Structure formats: C-alpha cells, structure tokens
Structure 1
Amino acid sequence: MKRLILTAMLCVAASYGFAQTTTTTTTTIVDSTKTGTDTTIVTKKHIKVKLGLGHDAPYVSPYSNDSTKVQRTKAPGFSFGITFSRIDLGFATLLDHGSFTLSPNNQFLSYRQAKTANFGFDVVQFGYRFNSAFKIYVSGGFDWTNIRLRQDITIQRNAPVLTYLPDSIHFSKNRFSSSYLRIPLSFYYRSHEDSRGNYFRLVVGPEVGILLNGRVKQISEERGKQKFDDDYHFAKLRKGAFIRMGYGIMGIYAKYYFNDMFENSPAQEGLRNFSFGLTLGF
C-alpha cells in the first residue's frame, strides 16, 4: 500500500512538473502607402500545447482582437478519456449506528485511527460540459479502506458470518482491508478565475462501489508476514455520496456510505464507513 501511494504521488508530481503551455501569438503587420493602394496583412496562427493533470486547458478565441489575450473558456460538448485524477488520501472511520464508539458486538474491530486510511483515484471518465463553470461526468477508479486493528486477532476466512479468533502472539501490524471498483457520478462547478489563474471548485454526487477483494495482512516475529484473501462479508455493492471542494489543485473530500460495511452478518448491522481527507487533481 505504501508503494502504491508513493507511486501515485510521483505520477502526480511528474504530471505537474512537466506541465507547460506554449503560445505563439498573432502578429499583424500592415504596410500601406500614403495613397492606400498597397496593403499587406500577415497573421500568425495560435498554437496551444497543454500538458498536465486536473486542469481545464485554456481556450483561445480566434475572434479576439487582442492576440495576446487568453480566455479560459470551454465549449460545450462530450468528452471521454483516460485520466489519473481525483486522488483521495485520508482517514477512514467506522460509525456504529451513527456513533464513533463501537458497540460490544463490534469491539473486536477496535482500530488505530491514525493508521486507518482511505486511498483512491480515478482512471477513466466520460462526461458532458455545459459551459466553463459546470459539467457532469461519470468516472471509474479504485478505492481502498485499510483498518489497522488494535487487538491480536485473526478474522476468519470462509466463515458463515464475520468471525474472529484471538491469537496468543503479538502482531506488529494487523490490517483488515477492502478494495472496491468505484463508479462516482460527479456534478462539477468552478468559479471564475482570480488574478493568479486559480479558482474554487465544488464536486458532489453519488458513488457506487463493487467489491474486488478483502484482505487480512499480519506481521509478527513468530510468523513473519502473512496475507489472507477472502470477501470477509464486505458488502458486494456499496452505495454512498461524496463531496470535494478546494482551491487550485488541492482540496478536501468526504465520503459516506449508506449501506452497512458487512452483509450476511447480523451482529454488524448498522456498522458503516465514513472517510475524509485531502484530494488532489480534481
């Protein structure tokens, strides 16, 4: 997971590091004699090259009288493409019937908040832009929730309900995680640019997640590093909503899922997931 986060951040840094805009301005030369019988007009074409992540490329109006003026507007229309954006890195929190305190049935899931993380990003998107300020798009990506358990227990695979067994050894790391394919529908709004070319952004919408895998990862002196994969009764389909807001390339996000984290496990009914943190490239 650490290598994955590091790779993502390096990709973002590289994308912004090599972002550039090259402009060839329009020059008009008028050579006219006093009699006005010889007039020559030479116009150079505008060339715009935009590389980067998470920004709307500026649009230069061909009808502008000022050849050096850049209008950051976008024409309405559909778009589709591969992306690496909406990179979320934050904390995951368990809510037990709306409370941050776990009920006795869920005490075995007691976790270390500072090491319980949510990480995700989008890799493809399809949308429609109405104008420079508003667009709507559906995207697809991946989302991980990693719960760092406090107790020395092992969540059991292939159990009829979510089941654990206590261990006699101490785990330096006992992580209980899930990975989902995430499919958010985003309603995007941005304000007018300020003098520095930045603007406020607000993105809200529903999100659907399809379970890819569940995993228990443990590290101890006695057993070394161990990984166990199973669905662990994580919800096969999770439904929630999200909000992202920020200024420039950075922002904050929050996500809440309306259905329970686990299914076919009555003791965990009412246990849900809430995540919040920083988002980049949205």
Structure 2
Amino acid sequence: MKKGMLLLAMALVCHGVKAQTDTTIVAASDTAGRKTVRIGNILIIKAKDQKGRKYVELTNKDSVKRKVSRVTTNWGILDLGFSNFTDKTDYAQTGSFIQNNPNGPAINGYDFRTRNGKSVNVNIWFFMQKVNLIKQNVNLKYGLGLELNNYRFRSPISFREDGTLPFSGGMTTNQPFVFRDTISFKKNKLAADYLTIPVMLNFTTNNKKGMDFGFSAGVSIGYLYSQRNKQVSEERGKEKSRGDFDMEPFKFSYIGELTLGPVRLYGSYTPKSMFSNQMDFRPYNFGFRLSKF
C-alpha cells in the first residue's frame, strides 16, 4: 500500500519531469517520521496524520529562487513638455549675425521672447536601460533617442542660412543671419532636433511596481541633425527655411528625473549657448515622461 501511494504520486508528476535531463532525486526522513522525496523542483512528502492515517503530499512549485536580471530595458519612451531658453546675449556685440533695419529700432532680447504655452519639447527615446548597482535601489540609467525642440517667437524674427541681406540694397552673403521681418506671422518657430544619449544615476526608495519614489540625475550629449525656421503668414503662406543658422553641432546638458508613484517628471538645462556666435541662448526643457521606470 505504501509503495502504491508513492508510485501514484510519482505518476502524477511524471509529465512534469520527463523533459528534465539533469533532474536531481533526493530522499530524506525527519524525526517526525515523514519521508521526503524531491525530484528536481517537485516535492513529495509521505507521512501520517494525528490519527495515524497515512497520506502523500505533492508540491509542484518552483522552490528555486530565480536570479533577478541586473539589466532592465524599456522600449519606446515618450516625453511631452515645454522648451525655452535663458537669454544672456550682449546685443551690442552680436556682429553681422543680426541685421538691423536702419530706419527702425535695433533688435534686442524683446524680439526673441517665446510663446511659453506653444514652445513645446517632444522627446522620443528608442530605449532606456537600467543597470542595478545596489539592491535595486541604486541604478545606472542610459538610453538613446531624439530631442525635438520648438521655440515659438512672438516677434517676426527670421533666420536665414545665407542669401540676400535685408535693408542692404541687394547685397548677398554666404553667412547665416537673423532679422526682424516686415510682415506678421501666425506661426513663427525655430526648431532644433538632436540625437541624444542620456546617462543618469537613479535612486529608488520603494521598488514596488507602480509605487516607486525616487529621482535621477546625470548628463546628456546631443548631436544637432536638423535646424529650421518654419513660418506661416497671410502674405507668404507656409514657409520653411532649412540650413545652418550657426548653431552648435553638439549640446551638453544636465538632466534629471523625478518619480512620484506613477507620475514621472523630467528636466534638462544646457549651461552653454546653442549658438556658435555671440548669441547666448541657454536652453532648458521640462515636462512629463511616459515610461515604465
């Protein structure tokens, strides 16, 4: 009878173990008279209850703790926020980049004011990875993606890569310049797009899924792959001027994240001007991050 009960229990788990070529079988007894047989991760216990009746207990659970991977990957992260810049320009030293109308006031910082609610930042991260450094609470984060910055101007400022200089009687130049246009625009924006690599140190205080609280801080390096001035007016319709507006090809930024449960915020600040000339615009972004971590 005893052998029959044991054989019956083993038959029940036969299907689960027949594919395991390296299964370990271990038999043991304890002081309570219980006999235990472990076949891989399957446990069979043969014992008696308080009334002396014999029984067989079968446990078909994974008793081996799986090793947690140190690297976690998140694909397709989206940032939605706002773009702006701090203007540190000395407009008396901008040289030929600014072309002023001799019959009007000189261009100054007032002309480069942005429409805050319409100057948007959209970041599309192809992936981000998190490498566990200390007990899932301290991690290294890095990734790769696109930063799309749009600065909407209030004034009719126009950027050109080269061409005929305004207010010059037909003179041309092969250098980029900016001027105050003679018409009004319904939409007037400068777009600067970067291929960016962020690297951050992440601190998480609570690692429960959906209840993380923490922050990240680090740096990013971006390569400028597109710059353009898009304008919409009644007189000219839609216009898009592409080219080199004398912007820096690389952008170094300080970056950060704040995690408050399911809500994730991001921000960045570039301590150096995004222009290569005397224009000193230092961009910053902030907004919401749609991400798993």
Contact 2:112 2:157 survives alignment (8 Å): no
> What is the match of residue 77 of structure 1?
70
Give the secondary structure class of the aligned counterpart of 1:231: coil
Q: Which segments of 5 or more consecutive residues in structure 2 lack a partner in the other structure?
A: 1-40, 95-106, 163-172
Contact 1:155 1:164 survives alignment (8 Å): yes
1:97 pairs, out of 84, 88, 98, with 88
Instruction: Specify the code of the residue in structure 2 equivalent to 1:122.
Output: W
1:157 and 2:161 correspond: yes
> What is the match of residue 152 of structure 2?
148
The 5 A counterparts of 1:19-168 are: 32=47, 39-44=56-61, 62-63=64-65, 75=68, 77-78=70-71, 83-85=75-77, 87-97=78-88, 105-130=108-133, 131-158=135-162, 162-168=176-182
Structure possessing the higher radius of gyration over alpha carbons: 2
Sequence identity, in percent?
24
Cα distance in structure 2, aligned partners of 1:177 and 1:107: 19
Cα distance in structure 2, aligned partners of 1:197 and 1:37: 47
Cα distance in structure 1, aligned partners of 2:119 and 2:240: 18
Superposition deviation, residue 134 in structure 1: 1.8
Cα distance in structure 1, aligned partners of 2:122 and 2:67: 31
Cα distance in structure 1, aligned partners of 2:174 and 2:272: 20
Give the secondary structure class of the aligned counterpart of 2:198: strand
> What is the match of residue 271 of structure 2?
258
TM-score, normalised by the number of residues in structure 1: 0.68
Superposition deviation, residue 77 in structure 1: 2.9
Q: Deviations over 1:258-281 (max 9, x none)?
A: 221101x22x1x321122222221
Cα distance in structure 2, aligned partners of 1:44 and 1:278: 42
Superposition deviation, residue 43 in structure 1: 0.6
> What is the match of residue 204 of structure 1?
217
Give the secondary structure class of the aligned counterpart of 1:114: helix
1:273 pairs, out of 269, 279, 283, with 283
TM-score, normalised by the number of residues in structure 2: 0.66
1:180 and 2:194 correspond: yes
Q: How many correspondences in the alignment?
A: 224
Cα distance in structure 2, aligned partners of 1:205 and 1:98: 27
Superposition deviation, residue 210 in structure 1: 0.5
Q: Which segments of 5 or more consecutive residues in structure 1 lack a partner in the other structure?
A: 1-25, 46-60, 64-72
Cα distance in structure 2, aligned partners of 1:40 and 1:74: 28
| Root-mean-square deviation over aligned CA pairs | 3.3
Cα distance in structure 2, aligned partners of 1:74 and 1:258: 42
The 5 A counterparts of 1:180-259 are: 180-193=194-207, 197-259=210-272
Cα distance in structure 2, aligned partners of 1:254 and 1:127: 19
Instruction: Specify the code of the residue in structure 2 equivalent to 1:154.
Output: S
Contact 2:266 2:288 survives alignment (8 Å): yes
